Amino acid sequence: MLPLRLSRVFVSASLLVLVQCQENPGVGYPHDYPGKPKGPFSPAWQNYFEVTEPLPNVTWSLPRNFAGNIPVDRPGHPNDTLFFWAFEKEQGSLTAQEFERSDEPWGIWLNGGPGSSSLLGLLFENGPIHVAANYSLYSNPYGWDNLADYVWVDQPVGVGFATADNTGFVADEDQMGEDFFSFVANLVEVFPSLKHRPLHITGESYAGTYIPYITKTYFGLENPPVKLAKIAIGDGTIGNVWVFEELPTLTVIETYPQLIGYDHDVFKYFQEQSHLCGFDINLTYPEHGHFPTLGPPFAGLGDSTRKKHDASKKFLLKTALETDARMNKSNLKARSLEPGSERMRRKEQWKRDLTGRANGTIDPWYGCDLYDEMIDYALNFSLPWKGNDENGFDVYDAPDALDPEAPMDGSVFLNNNVTRAAIHAPTSKDWVESINYPFGNNVNNGDPSVEPMAFLTELATNASRQHVGVLIYSGNDDTLVTHRGSEVVIQNTTFGGIQGFTIQPSTPWYDDNQEYAGIVHQERNWTYVLIKGAGHLVPMQQPERTQAFILLREFILGSNETGFVKTFGSHTSVVGGTDPNFAGVLTGQSGIYYGSDATQGTYTYPAATIGQWETFIWGATQTPYVPTNSCQVQEQASLDSSLRFPEELIRDGRVTPSTSATLKESQSKIVTKTAWLLKKRPFCVYVYKERTSESRRKSSSCRTNTSASEQDRPGSEPVINASPITARTKRSKQSNALPI
C-alpha cells in the first residue's frame, strides 16, 4: 500500500512505501481465541478459524470464510506467523475431504511492498469485500472467490496481521520462501482437499520477487505439501530497478506523450539519453544472446552508495524536498489549465538546458535516472499536472493527475475490535497497510536477495519439467513497473529450450462486451498479457471494465488459447491472429484526469497538437511491420521479383529503418504483399491498410483461396475490414494510496 497522506519517499527505486508511525509495527504475537483446539493442525481447526460473527457494516451475505494466524514453525521463533483470510467459491468447497474436488483449482493472492499487506488486495482489488472512500463497505461482484476458493495471505512474517518477534523477521527471500511453505503445509492440514487440488499463486508488484522465490523453494522440496499448477505475476519486479523502472521511460512517454506536452524536442532529448544509457534494447523474436547487464550511473552517487543500492534494491533515491530543490518548484505556483507566459518561459529555458548541457553525453545532473527526470518535467511543465507538489503525479496510473485524492484506508475496518475478533486477528498489534520491511531484523538492511531475473531460466526449466505454467501480466498505464521491463526479462529468459518468445506479442483479446482489452501471447507454457486501460493495480474493481476477472477466468485458471502459438511442420500460426498495430507500444487514452476526487475533470490536448505528434512519432520510432510465419521475408522467392522488399531495408531477415522517403515508398509494397499472401494461404493474421494513425485498419479474416485473381494480386487495393477499438472509459477513483 502506498499511502500518500504523509510525506512520500521513493523506496526500492521509487517503489513507494509509507512506514506508519508505530514502534516496531511488525512485532506481535497471535491471540488465542475461545475454542482453540489442542494438538496439531487438522480439519478440527476449521470451526475455530471460521468467521461466524457479523462483520461491522457488512450488510450482505458473504460466502463462508475462514481467517486467523498459522505459524511458520521456524525454530526459536514461536510467534512468527502468517495471517490468512480464505473465502469459499461455493458451500463446502474449501472444507471438502482429502482427495475430493481434486480437479478444482484454488488460489493464493499476495501483495508486495516489500512489507505490504495482502488484505489491501482483498479490500480494494479482488476480494469480496471492498472499502469505499468514505469508509463504508460494499460487495464486489468481481471477487476472485467467485471463480475459485481463494486465500489472501499476509506475508512475510510481521506484515499486516502476520506476526513476528523482535528477532524473527526474514533474513532474505530464501527464508521467506521456506516460511511460506511451512505455513502452507499447516494450512492444508486444516483444509486437506487443498493438498491435491491445482494451486495458482498470484500477486502483483513486489510479489514479482516473492513468487519466483516461493516457486524456487517449491521446486527444491522433496515432498511439496501442495500441487502447484501456475504462477501469475502482475506488474512485477522480476527484473532489477534498471529494467523495470529506468529502461522503459521512453516507452512510458510514447504511451502517454502528455507527460512531455507532446513536445518533439523533449522526446528527442529523452530518446538520446535512453540510447546513451544503453536503454534502447532491440528485442528480437526469438532472441539470440543475452542482454548486457545494465548499470549506468545515477548522478551524485559514490561507489559505496551505489554498491548498497545494487545489493539491497531499497536505496532512497530522492525525497520530495530534494526534488523540489532541484527544480525550484517552491517558486512555481500551482497552475491553472491555461499555459501562462512565465511557465512557458521556464519551459523553453529548461528545454535549452536539456539539449545544451548534455551535448551528446549523459546528463550530469540526472545521470540515467530518466524516470525521475520525466516526472520532474511533467510536474513542472506539462498540463494538467501540478507543479506545487509531487503528489499530483500517480506513478501507478499515468492518466491520473488528481490531487488530492480520496483515501484508500482499510485500517478503520480491520482495527475495529469487532472485526478483529471475528477474523481471529492478533490483539498485540494494529494492522497497518505497509511497513518498511526489516530484512535481517534491521530496517536499514533492505532486501539482500538477487532479483528473480538472475535465475528465471533455471526456474523455467523446472517449471517445464513439472508442468507449472508461468503468466506475466501488465497494466498498460503503469509507469513504475511497466510492461516493457517485463518483455525485456521474458526475452532474456530461456524456456522450452528457446530464448524468449519466437513471435512478438500482438494478438488482441476482448472482454465480455467484445471490447478490445489488450494483447495476449502464449508459447511453451509461458503467457504474457497486456491490459489496456489498467494501471499498476490491475485487479482493482472497475465497474465498466472487468479485465482482471476475465484474466483470471480465461488465462490463469482457464485454458483460453487466444494468442497461443501453434506449429504444424514448417508452418506456425497464432490463435486469434496477430496485429502489428498492437505490437510494441499501445498508445494510452487522450484524456488526463485532474482536480480532486470530489471534483474531477478531463484535460485533453488540442487535436492539432495530437495530430502533429502522431506524424512526428511515426517517423521518429516506427519500423515497418513484416508479417511473421507464413508471410516471412524468406518466402519471397516464390513472389514476383518486383515485389521484394528493398534490399537496403532488410538485415538478418528483419526490416530496418532507413530514410523517411524510402520507408514510405516501401510501405505500400509491404502492405500490398501482405494482403496478397492472405489470399494465397489459409492463415489468419491482421494487416494494415496504411501505417498512419489517421487511417489504421485491421482484418482478422481467414483467407483460404488457393489462387488469386488478377485484381487481388499486388498492385491492387487490398480489401481491409475496419474494426473500431473502444477507448477506456473513465473509471471511478478510490484512492491516492495504492498497494503494491
Measure the CA–CA gap between 342 and 332, rounded to whole angstroms.
Answer: 9
In the numeric block, the cell 482457464 is attached to 558
- Residues 319/389, Cβ–Cβ less than 8 Å: no
Q: Does the structure show a pLDDT above 50 at 675? A: no
> 627 versus 226: which is more confidently predicted?
226
- What pLDDT score does 676 carry? 28
Measure the CA–CA gap between 145 and 153, rounded to whole angstroms.
Answer: 14
Cβ-in-10-Å burial (0-12, 13-18, 19+) of 414 comes to buried
pLDDT in tens, 552-611: 999 999 999 999 999 988 899 999 999 988 888 999 999 999 888 766 799 999 999 999
- Percent of the residues in the chain that have a pLDDT greater than 90, as a whole number: 60
Cis peptide before 505 (omega within 30 of 0): no
- What pLDDT score does 298 carry? 60
Query: At a CB cut-off of 8 Å and minimum separation 6, what does 444 contact?
Result: none
Q: Is 525 left (phi over 0), alpha (psi -120 to 50) or beta?
A: left
- Residues 445/170, Cβ–Cβ less than 8 Å: no
Amino acid (one-letter) located at 116? S
Measure the CA–CA gap between 114 and 93, rounded to whole angstroms.
Answer: 32
Provide the b/e sequence for 162-195 (b: ≥16 CB within 10 Å). Answer: bbbbeebbbeebebbbbbbbbbbbbbbbbbbbbb
- What pLDDT score does 4 carry? 27
> 60 versus 655: which is more confidently predicted?
60
Among residues 582, 478, 589, the alpha carbon closest in space to that of 539 is found at: 478
Angle between helical axes of 370-381 and 341-358 (0-180°, round to 10): 160
Measure the N-to-C terminal CA separation of the chain; round to a whole number of Å.
Answer: 6
**Predicted confidence band at 408 (pLDDT cuts at 50, 70, 90)?**
confident
pLDDT in tens, 366-402: 889 999 999 999 998 899 987 655 667 889 999 988 8
- Residues 212/459, Cβ–Cβ less than 8 Å: yes
Q: Does the structure show a pLDDT above 50 at 55? A: yes
CATH 3.40.50.1820 fits 43-241+413-579, yes or no: yes
The pTM score is 0.79
Residue ranges per domain, the chain? Answer: 43-241+413-579
Cβ-in-10-Å burial (0-12, 13-18, 19+) of 489 comes to buried
Measure the CA–CA gap between 248 and 474, rounded to whole angstroms.
Answer: 13
| Angle ∠(525,531,533) on CA atoms, nearest 5 | 175
Q: Does the structure show a pLDDT above 90 at 259? A: yes
pLDDT in tens, 150-188: 999 999 999 999 999 999 999 999 999 999 999 999 999
Measure the CA–CA gap between 473 and 490, rounded to whole angstroms.
Answer: 11
Q: Taking residues 719-735, report their average pLDDT.
A: 29
- What pLDDT score does 554 carry? 96
pLDDT in tens, 198-227: 999 999 999 999 999 999 999 999 999 999
